[in-house]
Amino acid sequence: MRNEEIMLDVADSVYTKTIRSRQNDKNGLKMMVYVREKGQPIDLTGYAVKYEATNHIGLFIRDDAQIVDAKNGVFAYTLSAQAVSTSDDWTAYFVMEKSTERMSTPDIRIQLRRDVKEGNIKIENYISEFDGAIERVKGYRKELDEANKKIGELKPYIQSQFEATNQKIKEITPYIDEQYLKTNKKMEELAASIVANSVVKKAGDTMTGDLTVPTLYAGSKTKQVIVGSGTNDVYIGHSVTKKYLQLKDDGTLSYSGKRVGLVEDMAEATKTFLQGLTNFKNGFRSNGSGSSLFYGVDPFGFKHIRGLVEGGSTDAGVVIGSLPDFMKPTYWATITAVYDTTGGAAYSPCAVNIAWNGDIICQTKRSASSFIIINGMYL
């Protein structure tokens, strides 16, 4: 093994000496490198040293170097098989890396001369390869000719299959026509059967007697719904429980004989159940002009509060008054309200809540106003 001692100073821009070796001389050249900075040894403790090189055609090599004396900046590198695999002028350098730090030496010119194997290729070798390529092309041509021959042999077979298929289509056409006529006849017979058996049409038809509809889910075939009509009513019932819903021509709706209130009836009844609020707080009072604040519960269970209040504090969160226990909401409720901002019927929205304890709370800070109009319902 040949040894080369190299002194590299990272402060210099170039290294003028050319290192020469020969292609494929693997492990044949060892470089002992002394790295300096402005003549002083560089302490390589904690550093990794790498050899990096590239040639004119873009090949790139990166190998490990071995640190010999870290304190005095001495390391060694032996050209590897990869580093001498291609003859060329190589530009090389060494890099010292530690964590995110990296520094490199000046470039070194490495000249790898050709060995006898690469430098003495005879022209007949190239001609031999060309002849081989020609032979391969001839082989491909032969394969193409054979493929064309097979395609030519297939054409008559394809034509015969096409004609056979056409013949089968001609043979099956009368059968298809026959089946079409039979299907039409079956449909006519089915239509006549529907008429004969009094089957009800989907639209525009009339039936007499009760309509019984079995349920569609499994395991409940005995449970059926009955739909029917009488002289002055219609009904829908359950065949097992015997419960039914009946609507009479006079507008009466009942469930198994018990009358169910209609919305119009409930609205009329609502007019008679309201009571006037007397438990005012914080200076609020009824308007006193027939538009007092009323409350009550309608037949459906909805709680109502409506009317006018005046006076009272203008602060947000002030309690207008308290409702009795039966008017307390299930949850905190918000109802519709507006207030008069000028005394001249100029209204602005007013947030009014009904608390769980029955307090009527105005959540809007108001200017001095003549009255608040409340109209809402809740559960």
Instruction: Sketch the domain layout of the chain as residue ranges.
Output: 2-119, 121-201, 211-260, 270-378
212 within 8 A of 228, measured Cβ to Cβ: no
CATH code for the domain defined by 270-378? 2.60.40.1830
What would the two tokens of residue 378 be? 């809740």
**What is the model's pTM?**
0.34
55: its two tokens: 């040639």
DSSP codes of every residue in 331-371: S-EEE-EEEESSSSS-EEE--EEE-TTSEEEE-S---S-S-
Tokens of 201: 């049409």
Note the pLDDT of residue 215.
54
Paired with 3 in beta bridges are 30
Q: CATH code for 2-119?
A: 2.60.40.3350
**Separation between Cα atoms, residue 172 and residue 164, nearest integer Å:** 12
Residue-level pLDDT at 269: 53
Burial class (CB in 10 A: 0-12, 13-18, 19+), 31: buried
Domains 2-119 and 270-378 belong to one CATH topology? yes
Q: Poorest-confidence range of 16-20, 205-209, 297-301, 319-323?
A: 205-209
Residue 342 has which token pair? 């000028």
Task: Classify 200 as helix, strand or coil.
Answer: coil
Per-residue pLDDT of 325-337, as tens digits, reads: 999 998 899 998 9
What is the per-residue pLDDT across 233-249, written as a single tens digit (0 to 9) for each? 887 887 777 887 888 88
Location of structure tokens 């580093």? 83
Please indicate whether residue 317 or residue 253 has the higher confidence score (pLDDT): 317
Q: Quick check: 288 pLDDT over 70? A: no
Select the highest-mean-pLDDT range: 68-72, 191-195, 272-276, 309-313.
Answer: 68-72
